[in-house]
Amino acid sequence: MADEQQAAVGVDIGGTKIAAGIVMPDGRVLSPRTVLTPVQEGPEAVLQTIIRQVRDLLDETPGRNIRAVGIGTAGMVDSGRGVIVHANPNLPGWTGMPLGESVSKAVGLPVYVDNDVNALAVGEGRFGAGRAFREIVYVAVGTGIGGALVRHGEIWRGIHFGAGEVAYLVSGWDEQGRPIIVEDRASGPAMEKQYQAVSGSAERLSLRQIAERAHSGDMLAVQVIEEGARVLGLVLGPLVAAIDPEILIVGGGVPQIGDLWWNTFETALRDSPLPVLQQVKLAPARLSVHAGLIGAGALALNALPGL
């Protein structure tokens, strides 16, 4: 059994916040903290903020045998080199950042970097709903829609590090014949925008407020949520059938709406003559509050022998 004192630092980098903490081999999180991402100050300021968070954790827990750092970040990542190959719009200037090497030199530990949704999938595979499976499709539905593919127990990143980018699957066409991507119809902001349009509201309500209205009997809110769930299920169905995993795990804030969203999504997902879609298991993600940094920590723990 691995020494309980051995651990990794996990860092989850988003466009608004950076979460960090110590992740133990059993999934416990120690000393979690969150700071704002200094996007307006540029990529170097973001890098230094990450380094400072890792150093603070190392300084505050000298009794822990922290052996590595795992980082999950928005954008496409060359995980072998720890380099950002394509930046998410929320992190301007991030493209080309040698994140792994820079943090490793600053803190004196090996650093493992991957896309943030890949990290979430790794976390679910080690600690959550995917523990018993080696063939997984993971989808996160929140402010955006992201995906990750696990084949033979390992993240399948693709030749150009874009495997799992489900947000760009086509969900229809506009009046000019241009494709509409599923993220623009099924994400949280997409449903917020749609509710504002159909309700004629002067203000844009949050998805949480829309869900509360739906649960109180607002049929427009119900219809918007069900339509978002239905579109996502119909679009993901053929992809899941083509990959043929053991399980589809769905995380993010949107599924937390509950049965109204989830039941509609599952019905649409399985509405296919392909028998595989009746056999693939479907489960909500189990990791919640610290899912991002747990996944990042799991990247490092999985790379270390004995952990």
Q: 120-139: per-residue pLDDT in tens?
A: 999 999 999 999 999 999 99
Nearest-angstrom CA–CA distance, 95 and 105: 19
Domains 6-126+289-303 and 131-284 share a fold: yes
The pLDDT score that the predictor gives to residue 218 is 97
Give the CATH H-level superfamily of domain 131-284.
ATPase, nucleotide binding domain (3.30.420.40)
The pLDDT score that the predictor gives to residue 63 is 66
Domain ranges of the chain: 6-126+289-303, 131-284
Q: With a cut of 70, which residues of the chain have pLDDT below it? A: 1-5, 63, 307
Q: What angle do CA 274, 275, 281 make, to 5 degrees?
A: 115
The pLDDT score that the predictor gives to residue 89 is 85
Q: What angle do CA 262, 11, 295 make, to 5 degrees?
A: 40
The pLDDT score that the predictor gives to residue 3 is 45
CATH number of 6-126+289-303: 3.30.420.40
Q: State both tokens at 35.
A: 């700071």
The pLDDT score that the predictor gives to residue 1 is 38
DSSP string spanning 49-89? HHHHHHHHHHHH-TTSEEEEEEEEESSEEETTTTEEEE--T
Helix (H) or strand (E) holding 219: helix 219-243
Nearest-angstrom CA–CA distance, 47 and 233: 37
Residue whose C-alpha is closest to residue 164's, from 237, 231, 115, 128: 115
